[in-house]
Amino acid sequence: MTAIDTYLQHSRERRPSPQERPAAPAHRVVILTCMDARIDPYTIFGLTPGDAHILRNAGGVVTADVIRSLAMSQNLLDTRDVMIVQHTRCGMSLMDDQEIRDHIRSVTGTKPDFEIHAFKDLSLSLKEAALLIRESPFLPETRSVRGFVFDVDTGAVTEMDV
């Protein structure tokens, strides 16, 4: 039995009762964070399903797809606030773009044709992410864009000046 099979079995045994929930998040918040398995935004911020939109990718960085998702969230589902949550000991901060490209190529035999978005400085990465969101012509609500660092060792969340 694979992990996926275990997840499916769990979903069959513990299916929650159907609830009417609107697609728009109740708190009108979007959280962009890393896909790192140590990051659980529901636990960290005391959320329940339906409270916020959660966007995840490697590094919790702003990509074209993040802008696309934020545009849908803001323009169609009325979200207003954006939290960017990156974290300590992130894999995207341990190598540079070229090192990651080379590694992927050595494993797959194919050079990636996508942007990597590695970073060395969390504070600078958060500032750049906030700037990309604020400058996007597709996002009408950019007054409340805030950046945070989650410490994977202590569980502390620290707001950064972005």
Beta bridge partners of 85: 33, 148
Q: What is the pLDDT of residues 19-78, one digit of tens each?
A: 677 788 999 999 999 999 999 999 999 999 899 999 999 999 999 999 999 999 999 999
Which CA distances in Å does 110 have to 74, 104, 155? 36, 7, 37
The contacts of residue 50 (CB under 8 Å, 6+ apart) are 21, 22, 25, 26
Domain boundaries, the chain: 23-160
Mean pLDDT of 130-159: 95
Flag whether pLDDT at 157 surpasses 80: yes
CATH superfamily for 23-160 is: Carbonic anhydrase (3.40.1050.10)
**Residue 68 — left, alpha, or beta (φ > 0 → left; ψ -120 to 50 → alpha)?**
alpha
Report which DSSP code applies to 17: P
Under DSSP, is residue 135 helix (H, G, I), strand (E, B) or coil? helix
Give residue 16's pLDDT band: very low, low, confident or very high (50, 70, 90).
low
Q: What pLDDT is attached to residue 18?
A: 66
Q: What pLDDT is attached to residue 69?
A: 98
Tokens of 149: 């660092």
Under DSSP, is residue 59 helix (H, G, I), strand (E, B) or coil? coil
Tokens of 61: 């960085």
Are 82 and 131 in contact by the 8 Å Cβ rule? The answer is no
Q: What pLDDT is attached to residue 17?
A: 67
Give residue 102's pLDDT band: very low, low, confident or very high (50, 70, 90).
very high
Flag whether pLDDT at 13 surpasses 90: no
Q: What is the pLDDT of residues 108-131, one digit of tens each?
A: 999 999 999 999 999 999 999 999
Q: What pLDDT is attached to residue 136?
A: 97
Question: In terms of Cα–Cα distance, which of 54, 115, 134, 123 is closest to 88?
Answer: 123
pTM of the model: 0.90
